[in-house]
Amino acid sequence: MFCRNCGNELNPGAEVCLKCGVPKTKGHNFCPICGAETHPEAVLCVKCGASLVQPTVNADPTAKSKLVAGLLGIFLGYLGVHNFYLGYNKKAIAQLVITLCTCGAGSLISGVWGLIEGIMILCGNIATDADGKALTE
């Protein structure tokens, strides 16, 4: 394995290049497989054909989806479903109670409330769940 920053051969199991001090996954000047010099925007190594694109890893697999939350708010907001999904249980119960205790007459109020929140979620104005975790795209 070779350093992506300087092209120096890395020791097996090394996390950092001993020549330049850069972590083994950082850099974009050299192929990590054959050590050939590469173009910074290249996707494949011309010499050995190895992929030069670093895999993207979701930092938090438990993060909630912004699209799901927004659509739940738009279509089922009068029941507070989007707030239950995001963990805002008190708001969700309030929307549900408004709808149920008025035999559906209050659904106009909680429906507009849910619609506005759904749009705000999709626009990014509401960007976190109840635990403070960022919503994923």
Domain ranges of the chain: 1-56, 66-123
- Percentage of the chain with pLDDT > 90? 52
CA angle 60, 58, 53 (to 5 degrees): 160
Decide if pLDDT at 88 tops 80.
yes
Instruction: Report, as an integer, the average pLDDT of 88-103.
Output: 94
Write down the pLDDT at residue 115: 96
Identify the H or E element spanning 32: none
Write down the pLDDT at residue 62: 86
